[in-house]
Structure formats: structure tokens, C-alpha cells
Amino acid sequence: MSRIAILDENRCQPKKCNFLCIEYCPGVRMEEDTIVIDEKSKKPLISEELCNGCGICTNRCPFNAISIINLPEILTGPIHRYGQNKFEIFGLPNITESSVVGILGQNGIGKSTIMRILSGELIPNLGNWEKEEDEWEEVVNHYKGTQLQKYFKDLSNSKIKLIHKPQMVDQLPKFVKGNVGQLLKDVNEVDRLDKVVKDLQLENVLNRDIKNISGGELQRVAIAASVLRNGDFYYFDEPSSWLDVSQRLNIIKVIRSLASEGKAVMVIEHDLATLDAISDYVHVLYGESGAYGVVSQMKGVRVGINAYINGFLKEENVRIRKQSIEFRIHSPIVSNEGKILTQYSNIKKSYEGFSLSVQEGEIYRNEIVTAFGSNGIGKTTFAKIISELEKPDTGKVKKELDIVYKGQYLKHDFNGRVEDFLYTNAPNYGTNIFRSEIAKPLSLEDILDKNLNELSGGELQRVSIAVSLSQEGDLYVFDEPTAFLDVEQRLLVGKIIKKVVENRNAAALIIDHDIVFIDYISDRAMVFYGEPGLKGIATEPTDLETSMNKFLEDLKITFRRDKETKRPRINKLDSYLDRQQKENHQYYYLKD
């Protein structure tokens, strides 16, 4: 069986351990040593040809810097490897004109590398990292007879114009300055500015400076700037982040319009409902974060997403997850009168130009209540009121609780390692319960030695969730906990929150826009509706079917359940099923 050895150079500290990995490796007693000291880095190098996978070096390393990983037998040679004992990627996605190709997979297994290769920033070395110089000609010949042969040939001759919508749109104001309207006019190469502005509902931000708009507005401006440019290949990295459900439907329409014009489009997306609706095909990425990534064959969008959920790729005969992800049909809630955790009366709160009204309700023990609706409709305001961070103008929460609140924006003023941050802020850090129920499922051990200021959005989100769940509370309030997380992490976070809530006889209130996550985690739900930025109205918590029906009816869209996995899927507008469900007033899904 082939294997790779991965050395995390950020963790490796040979001066402190005096090369325990070399000392205990049985290979050092052979004629040729399995582990040697690299002359340049002064750190160990592991020969993958000589390594027998015994795992002794992995267990002896005090800094968890070494990983020995067995590879699937189906793999041939990598497309690119960064060096000995470093990350490698196998395969590349297809570039298909007049289609949207989705990329589905966990964080840290090669999406950035794929983007660098397809943009021409990185010439793939085909696994030979010791070459002094990589050449496009070798890559073109490697892909002879495939779609990528012409793509790389044109790319090497500068005949392809690539348009990239980046992931971290909140960083744009650091690099782009000025008025939003003028910025969009400056990039308008296809003469459809008015239509794109209308489709993405950007009329109200055109006269504002880009540094003064919200994360959701920045996302829509970035998408608008991308589709207004005239390119050959468009690449959108997580376009649904910061957006509410109606805005996600709008970007689906805008991005798909590029494919209808004959353009090649690729999308990385972690919201399964959005990915399902926006893509014609998908590639599943699997592997081990930070070690290796594999790009599956191109699959139809339904087949690909279902394979990912089931954890098994049939054509490759590879299991990518031990267990499938299961979605449940929510049964009607039985009476919980004796389990009321807290109640609140009718609540009203007004600011200059905005008012919020919340219908009285209650939250039960051992349940998760989700809150969804448009951006700017008052969800965060309600979360702060029930968390006692803001006072309502009228109404009150009738019972004082120990409340743990995780806000929407991941801000901190800590300069140091993640482990030090957890020691300071997570009350039960270091206990067996924290390790088994929080740290291990959230893979915190992989980032403990990183500086908190250097974490990605997804890593920082996981740390924030861990700190919140480490605290004892009656009610846990999470504002958009899925932001920056991949699909598997989102559903895993749902499981962790459920387990903590049940073990502590507590409850959780969760604000989110991911319909698949909401469907997966909810016991009951609240709907926020009205006029964004002007007036918000919130229903009492009710069963998920009732809440979803109201919410989706306002949006004039319907969802169905996939017959195989039971996951929610968006119906195409005016399709037979869409019309049938609307006639029956069953917008969430059609009952059998």
C-alpha cells in the first residue's frame, strides 16, 4: 500500500526533542536510514519509500508534527506536490463551457491549490518537486486528449481571461477604495450594469463608500464586479457567505446566467441547497486536511452531492466517511408544558428608522430553536435581547438564565497561541469532557500551536464555538455559527450543539441562513419577516414545517426532499413539483 509522510514544520521543534523520531525509528538500523536530518531546514525528512508505516515516530513526536497516512490504492501520481513530506493533490476538476461545475469538500484539502493551478499562478510539477523549473508544455502533454489539454495550452499562451471572486470579501476594503457605484462602472465590460445591480438588490449601496457597507453587501458587490467583467472562466469561492436565503437565490440566478452565455464557471460552495441549485455537475474532494486531496470524477449534481452525504464514491470505490449523514423527517412536537426553560412576553424594540416586534413565546429544555429570515430584519437584535445584552422598549424575558452568547462577528484582542487562548477563555479546557465532546470533534488539536491572529475564518469559528460550549449555561445563543465552515463541519457542529444541550438539560437559539443545516438541527423555529432595514416581525417558535412553509411562501419558492438522502432541495421555478406544492400550500416539502 502506498503512503505519504507529512511533517508539519510549524510544529516540529527538533532542538527541544533532540530528534526522538530518528532515535526510535526502526529504519535507522537498516542499511539506509528511513529518517534523516535535512541539511537546509535542520528538520527531519522521512523517506516514504523506506517507511513501513509502523507509526512509532508519530507516537513519539511530542509536538504531533508527524503524520503517516495510507493512500487509496486507486491513486496514480499526484498533479502537484509542494515538497517531500508536504501536501499533494491528485487530479483536477474539468473546465466545461456553458456549465457551472461545483466543488464540494472539506476545508484544507486542496481547493486553494486547484485555484492557483487553474489561474496559472502555479505550474503543477506532476509530483516531481525537485525539478528546478516547471514547464507548461509537460503539463499540456500530460492532459493530452482531455478537456484540460486545450485549457492549459491557452492558459500558457495567455489566451484565457480568468475572473476570480475571492472567499474573504470582508478584506476587500483594504485593497479597493472608493464609491461602490463608480467601482462597478469601472469594471463594467459587458454593458449590463443596471440589470446586475437590480438582480443583486444593490440600488441602496451605490452611493456609499465600499468601506461603509456590510459583509453581505460586500459579497454581492464582489459578485457583481465579477459578472460585469468579460472573461472566459469564472471562479466563485463561497459566494453565499453572509447572504440570506433570498439573496442566495438571486446569486444563483446571476451566476447561472454566465453559463447560459457559454462561459465556463466553477463554484466552491458549502451550502448544499445553493450548490445543488447553482451547479450542473460537481467534483467531490476528499482526503486529509493538510496532507493530501483527491478530486473525484465529474458527477451529475444530485449524484455527486448524495455520494458525499452517503460517504461513498461508487465509481472510485472509495469510502470517504465512516458513516453517512442522515436527515430526518420532523415529527410534530408533543407537549412540552412541563419542560419550559424560559418565556418572554411580546417584545418591541425601536431604533432610528427600524422597529422590531416579537410575538410572545417560550423555549423548552433539551430543544434547539432556529431563527431565520432576511438580513436586516432583527434576528441579531432579538438574540441580544434574549441574551440580556440589550434591553427591549417593551416586554421582557420572564426568567433569568445563565446565557452563553456567540456573536456573528469573530472579534478578539488576543495575541498568542490558540492553546493559550483556550486556557484563558474555555473554563473546562484540558478536561476529558472537553477533549472528547468538543476538541476532538472540532479538530482543535490541529491548530493549538497556531497564533490566533493567523487563523482562517473557519478555524476561528471552530475556536469560538468551542469556547462557547465549554461554558456552563441554561441557554446557548449562536449567531451564524456555520459561517466559513465546510459542509461536514457544519453538520458536525450541529451534532455537538445537540449533545451539549441534551447533556446539560439546556436549550439553544441558533440564527442561520443554511436551509440544510436548519433542517438538520431544528426542533422548532422562528420566522422573521417584514421590510429589511425598516421593520421586522418575528413569530413565536413553532414546529419546523409550519415555520418553513410561512418563510418559503413569502419567498415564493418550494423545497422537496431528495428521495435517497432526504436532504432539502430547491425546486425549479414553475416546474411541475413547484406548481403542485404551491397549489397544496406545502412549500417546505410535499407530504406523501
DSSP string, 151-202: HHHHHHTT---EEEE-S-GGGGGGT--SBHHHHHHHH--SS-HHHHHHHTT-
Query: Which of 123 and 408 is assigned the larger pLDDT?
Result: 123
The mean predicted confidence, pLDDT, of the chain is 88
Q: What pLDDT sits at residue 369?
A: 95
The pLDDT of residue 523 is above 70: yes
- Res. 591 pLDDT band, cuts 50 70 90: low
Q: Rounded to whole angstroms, how far apart are CA atoms 134 and 20?
A: 36
189, 230 Cβ separation under 8 angstroms: yes
- Spatial CA neighbour of 287 closest among 21, 514, 488, 9: 488
Q: What is the mean pLDDT of residues 480-506?
A: 90
Topology of the domain comprising 93-319: Rossmann fold (3.40.50)
Q: What was the pLDDT predicted at 590?
A: 64
Query: For 58, what's the count of Cα atoms within 13 Å in the CB-facing half-sphere?
Result: 11
Residues 3-70, CATH architecture? 2-Layer Sandwich (3.30)
418: Cα separation from own chain's centroid: 21
pLDDT recorded at residue 132: 73
pLDDT digit string (tens) for 283-333?
Answer: 999 998 888 999 999 999 999 999 999 999 998 888 988 888 887 765 555
Kindly report the number of other CB atoms within 10 A of residue 546's CB atom: 16
Selected residue with higher pLDDT from 9 and 138: 138
Long-range contacts of 304-309 (CB under 8 A, 24+ apart): 304/102, 304/104, 305/104, 305/272, 305/275, 305/276, 305/567, 306/562, 306/564, 306/565, 306/567, 308/104, 308/105, 308/284, 308/487, 309/565, 309/567
- In which residue ranges of the chain is CATH 3.40.50.300 found? 93-319, 338-555
Radius of gyration of the chain (CA): 25
Nearest Cα neighbor of 24 from 62, 52, 56, 58 is: 56
Instruction: Write the CB contacts of 435 (distance below 8 Å, at least 6 apart in sequence).
Output: none
Sort 232 into a burial class: Cβ within 10 Å, 0-12 / 13-18 / 19+.
middle
What confidence category does residue 337 fall into, taking pLDDT thresholds of 50, 70 and 90? Answer: low
For residue 274, the surrounding DSSP H or E stretch is helix 272-278
- The pLDDT value recorded for residue 357 is 95
Cell numbers 528546478 label which residue? 132
With a pLDDT cut of 90, the percent of the chain lying above it is 42
Q: How far, in Å, are 308, 310, 325, 443, 572 from residue 322 at the CA level?
A: 12, 9, 10, 16, 33
Residues 9-60: pLDDT tens digits? 878 888 888 899 888 888 776 678 898 898 888 899 998 888 888 889 888 8
Report pLDDT digits (tens) over 547-579.
Answer: 999 999 988 899 988 888 888 899 888 899 899
Predicted confidence band of residue 469 (pLDDT cuts 50, 70, 90): very high
* Residue 77 pLDDT: 83
* Adjacent-strand bridge partners of 531: 535
Tell me the three cell numbers of residue 560. 422537496
Match 449533545 to its residue by C-alpha cell: 499
Quote the CATH superfamily of domain 338-555: P-loop containing nucleotide triphosphate hydrolases (3.40.50.300)
**Better-scored residue on pLDDT, 201 or 72:** 201
Would the pLDDT of 458 be above 80? yes
Mean pLDDT, rounded, for 376-402: 89
Asked whether 501 and 366 are in contact (CB, 8 A), the reply is: yes
**pLDDT, tens only, 96-111:** 899 999 999 988 888 8
Rounded distance between C-alpha atoms, residue 432 and residue 172, angstroms: 41
d(CA 320, CA 420): 33
Task: Return the bridge partners of 104, or none.
Answer: 284
pLDDT at position 453, please? 85
Does 264 have pLDDT greater than 60? yes
Give the H or E element holding residue 542: strand 542-543
Would you state the pLDDT for residue 332? 52
Scan for cell 460517504, then name that residue: 311
Asked if residue 265 has pLDDT above 90, the reply is: yes
Closest by alpha carbon to 90, among 151, 7, 2, 176? Answer: 2
Q: What is the pLDDT of residues 272-283, one digit of tens each?
A: 999 999 999 999
The C-alpha angle with vertex 222 and arms to 219 and 225, in degrees rounded to 5, equals 150
Query: How far is the C-alpha of 497 from the C-alpha of 494, rounded, in Å?
Result: 5
Q: Comparing C-alpha atoms, which of 222, 267, 241, 239 is closest to residue 100?
A: 267
Residue intervals in the chain for CATH 3.30.70.20: 3-70
pLDDT level of residue 336 (50, 70, 90 thresholds): low
- Residues whose CB falls within 8 Å of the CB of residue 186, separated by 6 or more in sequence, listed in order: none
The mean pLDDT of 376-395, rounded to a whole number, is: 91
